[in-house]
């Protein structure tokens, strides 16, 4: 495929002639990431395509979002269908697709007889879940692991007050990590007034670190014994990313609330907060209120339902788990203890540790020049490809990576 639309040609012309063009100079980029590919105008499956027709294998799935690949035919079709009827509803009326989509979400979360709320972003799903926990418990303090990322709101970023951060770095080298003694001073230090333990099961702000199972189970036990709620932040680890529907499944715990985002919309901005039956029963007559202009919109709900349908119908998660295990073995074969130091991951969430940040940047740029997009994070790069990516596509990446590393 090597197509250029009239728009892409005109965009390329403007960019080439004027580097201060309004396509870039008037767009606020306030992320920590530099825009290195400003001319991406098309996509197909696991690839994005620039104005010259060059294809880039997107091994980040956008931002973990395109779980079923770019321009997925099924998702695109359902979006077109819903747009032709109604996209948005108000607070006082609703589309039947909401109940259908909610039933599908509650089935995959195990929250049958619970309830869910459709929103626009993972940050919102986490925020409303924490508001619910605070409302029900009467407590005003949240708890999370020290390296968790819980969204873009100041309520989760500013942790000087209203938070208890559990620093689990000592647990990495603890001889009792597999059992985690409840008498551990760190566990004993958990306050009694925790409204919620919001657990990010394995992303660690994008650095792909997995806390010990026993530790998480003990924390859950302590918080629950004090009537606190357990929230699973599945924005990055959910929807099959770790080889199971949700990352918390690797920890044998059952959250009260689950925040789902990114992959559940396959690029469309939709998220879900899922509540188990007990939490829903406590909430529905408690006087809790939350209003946002785009909550429970039929367009977002229809996308969620289609993404779930496609994953179930195609047995995508089982395939992703197998592909992830194969990819990890291929990457581990490149470990040389000089440039590539270690590989870790679950499913198709993988991280490769590089000897230092400068070398990692060189590898990242060389991969980009060859048509491969990976996440670059201070001495490591991350791979989060679409769940339905092929081994043939990944093998070409492995071969290219091996060639680049061999030249450093």
Domains of the chain: 6-64+315-406 (3.90.1150.10), 75-313 (3.40.640.10)
**Which of 355, 324, 361, 326 has its CA nearest to residue 342?**
355
How many residues in total does the chain contain?
Answer: 408
d(CA 255, CA 217): 11
pLDDT of residue 31: 83
pLDDT of residue 17: 37
Tens of each residue's pLDDT in the chain, 408 residues: 444 444 333 344 334 334 444 445 688 888 888 889 999 999 999 999 999 999 999 999 999 999 999 999 999 999 999 999 999 999 999 999 999 999 999 999 999 999 999 999 999 999 999 999 999 999 999 999 999 999 999 999 999 999 999 999 998 888 887 888 888 889 999 999 999 999 999 989 889 999 999 999 999 999 999 999 999 999 999 999 999 999 999 999 999 999 999 999 999 999 999 999 999 999 999 999 999 999 999 999 999 999 999 999 999 999 999 999 999 999 999 999 999 999 999 999 999 999 999 999 999 999 999 999 999 988 999 999 999 999 999 999 999 999 999 998
The angle, 0 to 180 degrees and rounded to 10, between the axes of the packed helices 316-332 and 298-313 is 70
Element (H, E) at 55: strand 55-58
Please, what is the Cα angle at 45 between 44 and 50, to 5 degrees? 35
DSSP state of 177: T
Record the pTM. Answer: 0.92
Beta-strand relationship, 47-50 and 349-354: unpaired
pLDDT of residue 24: 54
Question: What strands lie across the sheet with 340-346, from one edge to the other?
Answer: 340-346, 349-354, 380-383, 375-376
Distances in whole angstroms, Cα of residue 373 to Cα of each of 15, 48, 57, 79, 401: 22, 9, 6, 27, 12
- Terminal Cα distance for the chain, rounded: 32
The tokens describing 106, both together, are 């509650």
């Amino acid at each position: 495929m090597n197509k250029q639309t009239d728009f892409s040609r005109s965009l390329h012309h403007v960019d080439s002639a004027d580097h201060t063009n309004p396509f870039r100079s008037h767009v606020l980029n306030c992320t920590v990431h530099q825009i290195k590919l400003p001319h991406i105008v098309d996509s197909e499956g696991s690839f994005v395509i620039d104005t010259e027709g060059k294809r880039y294998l997107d091994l980040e799935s956008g931002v973990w979002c395109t779980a079923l690949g770019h321009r997925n035919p099924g998702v695109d079709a359902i979006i077109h269908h819903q747009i032709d009827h109604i996209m948005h509803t108000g607070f006082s009326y609703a589309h039947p697709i909401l109940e259908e989509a909610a039933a599908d979400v509650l089935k995959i979360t195990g929250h049958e007889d619970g309830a869910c709320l459709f929103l626009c972003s993972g940050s919102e799903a986490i925020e409303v879940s924490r508001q619910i926990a605070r409302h029900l418990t009467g407590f005003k303090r949240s708890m999370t692991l020290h390296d968790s990322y819980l969204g873009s709101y100041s309520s989760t970023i500013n942790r000087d007050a209203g938070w208890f951060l559990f620093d689990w770095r000592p647990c990495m080298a603890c001889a009792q990590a597999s059992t985690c003694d409840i008498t551990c001073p760190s566990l004993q230090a958990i306050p009694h007034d925790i409204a919620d333990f919001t657990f990010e099961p394995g992303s660690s702000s994008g650095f792909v670190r997995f806390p010990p199972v026993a530790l998480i189970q003990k924390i859950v036990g302590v918080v629950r014994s004090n009537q606190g709620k357990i929230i699973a932040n599945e924005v990055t680890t959910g929807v099959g990313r770790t080889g199971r529907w949700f990352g918390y499944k690797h920890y044998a715990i059952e959250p009260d609330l689950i925040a789902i985002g990114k992959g559940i919309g396959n690029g469309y901005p939709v998220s879900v907060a899922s509540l188990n039956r007990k939490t829903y029963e406590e909430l529905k007559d408690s006087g809790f209120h939350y209003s946002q202009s785009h909550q429970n919109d039929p367009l977002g709900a229809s996308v969620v339902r289609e993404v779930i349908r496609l994953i179930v119908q195609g047995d995508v998660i089982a395939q992703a788990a197998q592909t992830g295990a194969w990819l990890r073995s291929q990457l581990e074969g490149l470990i040389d203890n000089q440039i590539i130091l270690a590989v870790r991951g679950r499913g198709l969430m993988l991280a490769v540790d590089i000897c230092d940040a400068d070398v990692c940047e060189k590898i990242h740029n060389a991969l980009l020049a060859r048509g491969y997009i990976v996440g670059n994070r201070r001495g490591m790069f991350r791979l989060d490809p679409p769940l339905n990516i092929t081994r043939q596509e990944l093998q070409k990446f492995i071969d290219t990576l091996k060639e680049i590393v061999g030249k450093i």
